[in-house]
Amino acid sequence: MAAAAAAASSAAAAPPVPIASAVAPAPGAPRSSKKPKKPEKEDIGGIPTNSLVLAKWRDGSWRRATLLHKQHIRDGAGEPTGRFNYYVHYDDFNRRMDTWVNSDNVKEDPDAALREAEAERKEKEDVRVEKRQREDGGTEEIATFLEEQHGEAEGMDEAALREHEEVTKVKNVNFVEIGRHRMETWYFSPLPKELWQDEIIDTLYFHEHSLRFFKHKAEMLRHAAKWPLKHPPGDEVYRHQGMAVFELDGAKEKEYCQNLSYLAKFFLDHKTLQWDVDPFLFYVFTEYDEFGYHFVGYYSKEKYCDAGYNLACILALPCFQRRGFGRFIIQFSYELSRKERRVGSPEKPLSDLGQLSYRAYWTWVLFGVLRRFQGPELSIMDLVRITSIKPEDVMATLQYHGLIKYYNGTYVLCTDPALVEAKFQKYNNKKGPVVDPSKLHWAPYPITVKRDKWTIRAKLQARTEEEM
Ligand code: ACO
């Protein structure tokens, strides 16, 4: 127990494992559309790694996949049986669907050569050759890689993307258990080396109030018996209808916040692990009952963000997803921005699920304002002022729903009230908790910045100056 506890708590002191710094491939995209790597030379047998294969999907269908890793299936005495478990990435699915399948469910793809040629052709297509004027007056050709997709991979160069894929290609933990829930993990999390050394851990046990993690359940239960709290550390800033929210300062609750980052990394592919938690505030969302406060999700936020982000990372544990908790967390982040009298936006790039959830939230809020609106004129900045949603996100959402039209040299908001009502009801008729701002006991974190360009006032002023 002592060793495991030390390992868990050493999370705070452990040196960072070198993982790629930012993002994964765009949502739903193949791992990489570039030419697949050649099979490795030294092999333990079976189908070579990096081969293009067909693998059975959950519904029994055979799908195109890439074989990323393999292990012997061993008998009771630990001897190899000559059969293998293969770790595959399905070409058509997000990395979170990567999984182990046994030899019966993987076969070589007769069309592998065709797929390879196709990947090669795509790779060439992705390179655009441009001519650039040299200083001596001549021209030279430069190759520019076209962006694969505008999404999660944004901001990450090809080399970094490959490195990220290579280092994190196989999940190191199959399941996590926290409180009453057991969940399959989605991605690799760079756990401290004392706890994990290249082997695959079947289940990692998190204590739900301290978030310390253990390889053995008995160790976690011994830790739980001694742990004094039945809730996360930090200040409770919201409590209403079974939901309680705690605010934690990363500088004060370092260990908890770092453990939280390890947990979140199992479900967030494209975010850097936050080793340095000091500049962040963490908001932990719990459901409470007579047994204590049960972890549902969290979001982190920089104490001061020059880019105007009001949320850095958001997570609702998979066992709570699609029940409205994501919307609750997002709504909460905007309620804080409203109290601060600032505009806010989530840190980019968004994951596929982040994008879907934010679009749903923005639509719900903006259409809610539009349906109530009675006056003669409503501008984008009015919507910003009412909702604290950044002007770019307001515009993008209205454009997505086809509400912005170009008319007589200017952009106007143009819609049918019945359509607004129908859209609003679609997003409003949703299960799940809703934030009641009157139950929020919170004061903004004091910042020392003199001219804060993200206040609503500054934004309105900037827009007026632009128009003059
Ligand atoms: N498929 C389709 N639509 C989805 C899905 C999905 N898997 N998940 C969410 N949505 C859309 C739907 O419109 C949904 O509304 P509906 O259920 O009424 O159809 C809406 O988003 C909101 O759903 P919620 O139930 O409120 O959100 P949820 O509790 O599932 O949490 C969250 C959303 C936090 C993004 C969760 O999926 C998650 O933690 N994912 C893993 C981590 C992640 O990707 N975080 C975002 C990274 S980007 C960033 O941090 C800035």
Condensed to tens digits (0 to 9), the pLDDT of residues 406-418 reads 878 787 888 888 9
Region of residue 80 (phi > 0: left; psi between -120 and 50: alpha; otherwise: beta): beta
Rounded to 10 degrees, the C-alpha dihedral 27/30/33/38 comes to 140
Condensed to tens digits (0 to 9), the pLDDT of residues 29-42 reads 334 444 445 445 45
Condensed to tens digits (0 to 9), the pLDDT of residues 226-276 reads 999 999 999 999 999 999 999 999 999 999 999 999 999 999 987 666 678
- Among 347, 421, 465, 466, which one carries the catalytic annotation? 347
For residues 327 and 410, the model is more confident at: 327
- For residue 315, the ligand 1 atom closest to its alpha carbon is 39
- By the 8 A CB rule, do 439 and 461 touch? no
pTM over 0.85: no
Sheet hosting strand 181-184, strand order edge to edge: 181-184, 173-178, 201-206, 213-214
From the CA of 353, how far away is ligand 1's center (Å)?
5
Q: Which residue owns the Cα nearest ligand 1 atom 21?
A: 357
- By the 8 A CB rule, do 331 and 435 touch? yes
For residues 161 and 363, the model is more confident at: 363
CA distance 328 to 435: 6
Q: In which band, very low, low, confident or very high, does the pLDDT at 194 lie, cut at 50, 70 and 90? A: confident
CA distance 73 to 79: 8
**Is the minimum distance from the CB of 268 to ligand 1 under 6 angstroms?**
yes
- Both tokens of 408, joined, read 């007589």
Mutate to test the pocket of ligand 1, among 273, 348, 356 (most ligand atoms within 8 A of CB): 356
List, in order of start, the domains of the chain with CATH numbers.
Answer: 27-37+47-110 (2.30.30.140), 229-467 (3.40.630.30)
For residues 359 and 155, the model is more confident at: 359
For residues 36 and 85, the model is more confident at: 85
- For residue 270, the ligand 1 atom closest to its alpha carbon is 47
Q: In which band, very low, low, confident or very high, does the pLDDT at 314 lie, cut at 50, 70 and 90? A: very high
Q: Which residue owns the Cα nearest ligand 1 atom 33?
A: 326
Note if 219 is an active site residue.
no
- For residue 186, the ligand 1 atom closest to its alpha carbon is 41
CA distance 101 to 47: 13
| Radius of gyration of the chain from its Cα atoms, rounded to whole angstroms | 25
- Both tokens of 461, joined, read 């002023």
**Is the minimum distance from the CB of 332 to ligand 1 under 6 angstroms?**
no
- For residue 327, the ligand 1 atom closest to its alpha carbon is 26
CA atoms within 13 A on the CB side of 371: 16
Q: What is the pLDDT of residue 26?
A: 35
Mutate to test the pocket of ligand 1, among 267, 272, 321 (most ligand atoms within 8 A of CB): 321
Q: Which residue owns the Cα nearest ligand 1 atom 20?
A: 357
From the CA of 194, how far away is ligand 1's center (Å)?
33
CA distance 117 to 124: 11
From the CA of 108, how far away is ligand 1's center (Å)?
35
Q: What is the pLDDT of residue 3?
A: 34
Condensed to tens digits (0 to 9), the pLDDT of residues 362-399 reads 999 999 999 999 888 888 999 999 999 999 999 999 99
Whether pLDDT at 423 is above 70: yes
From the CA of 166, how far away is ligand 1's center (Å)?
27
User: Phi and psi dihedrals of 80, rounded to 5?
Assistant: -65, 140
Q: What is the pLDDT of residue 9?
A: 37
Largest CA distance in the chain: 81
Q: What is the pLDDT of residue 197?
A: 80
> Taking residues 215-221, what's their average pLDDT?
97
> Taking residues 271-296, what's their average pLDDT?
89
For residues 101 and 220, the model is more confident at: 220
Q: What is the 3-state secondary structure (H, E, C) of the chain?
A: CHHHHHHHHCCCCCCCCCCCCCCCCCCCCCCCCCCCCCCCCCCCCCCCCCCEEEEECCCCCEEEEEEEEEEEEECCCCCEEEEEEEEEEECCCCHHHCEEEEHHHEEECCCHHHHHHHHHHHHHHCEEEEEEECCCCCEEEEEEECCCCCCCCCCCCHHHHHHHHHHCCCCCEEEEEECCEEEECCCCCCCCCCCCCCCCEEEEEECCCCCCEECCHHHHHHHHHHCCCCCCCCEEEEEECCEEEEEEECCCCHHHHHHHHHHHHCCCCCCCCCCCCCCEEEEEEEEEECCEEEEEEEEEEECCCCCCEEECEEEECHHHCCCCHHHHHHHHHHHHHHHHCECEEECCCCCHHHHHHHHHHHHHHHHHHHHHCCCCCCCHHHHHHHHCECHHHHHHHHHHCCCEEEECCEEEECCCHHHHHHHHHHHHCCCCCCCCHHHECCCCCCCCCCCCCCEHHHHHHHHHHHHC
**Is the minimum distance from the CB of 26 to ligand 1 under 6 angstroms?**
no
